[in-house]
């Protein structure tokens, strides 16, 4: 005869905040139930300037472009190891293609009224210069 037993206790959902300050900060970052269509803030607490999904794509592209520029010009692979001399052409081409892709992602939003548009125009010039530099890296085939 099987014995009846109590079900396991329900798991505690969420993180018990130690103070009211953490609870307020968590409520600010969490998506609101009152506004379910609002775009939630990304992890790390970077608040967006606007709440439009099309503006979110633009803001993410600007942030990623800045991060790629901050990576520098050292030619390393995905694991952080120096690239072999026979692979320089391929890896430099990948970096150039990444900068071209960032420009293509930002370009459609430059005609809008977003507060970051002026900053994005300056960023586009820097991305184009960086793409041109990676296309002239020694070891790349010039046609």
The number of folded domains in the chain is 1
The answer to whether the CB of 106 falls within 8 A of the CB of 58 is yes
**What b/e string do you get for 1-39 counting C-beta neighbours within 10 Å, with b at 16 or more?**
eeeeeeeeeeeeeeeeeeeeeeeeeeeeeeeeeeeeeee
Nearest in space to 68 (alpha carbons), one of 135, 140, 139, 128: 128
7 found inside a domain: no
Mean pLDDT (whole number) for 56-65: 86
6 found inside a domain: no
Write out pLDDT tens, residues 99-112: 999 999 999 989 88
pLDDT in the model for residue 44: 47
99 found inside a domain: yes
Residue 32 belongs to what domain range? 20-135
The answer to whether the CB of 75 falls within 8 A of the CB of 91 is yes
């Amino acid at each position: 005869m099987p014995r009846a037993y109590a079900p396991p206790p329900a798991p505690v959902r969420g993180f018990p905040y130690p103070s009211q300050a953490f609870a307020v900060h968590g409520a600010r970052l969490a998506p609101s139930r009152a506004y379910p269509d609002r775009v939630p803030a990304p992890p790390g607490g970077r608040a967006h300037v606007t709440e439009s999904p099309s503006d979110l794509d633009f803001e993410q592209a600007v942030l990623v472009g800045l991060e790629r520029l901050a990576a520098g010009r050292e030619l390393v692979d995905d694991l952080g190891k120096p690239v072999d001399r026979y692979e320089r052409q391929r890896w430099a081409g990948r970096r150039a293609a990444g900068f071209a892709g960032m420009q293509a992602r930002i370009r459609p939003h430059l005609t809008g009224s977003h507060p970051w548009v002026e900053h994005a125009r300056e960023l586009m010039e820097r991305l184009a210069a960086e793409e041109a530099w990676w296309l002239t890296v020694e070891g790349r085939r010039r046609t």
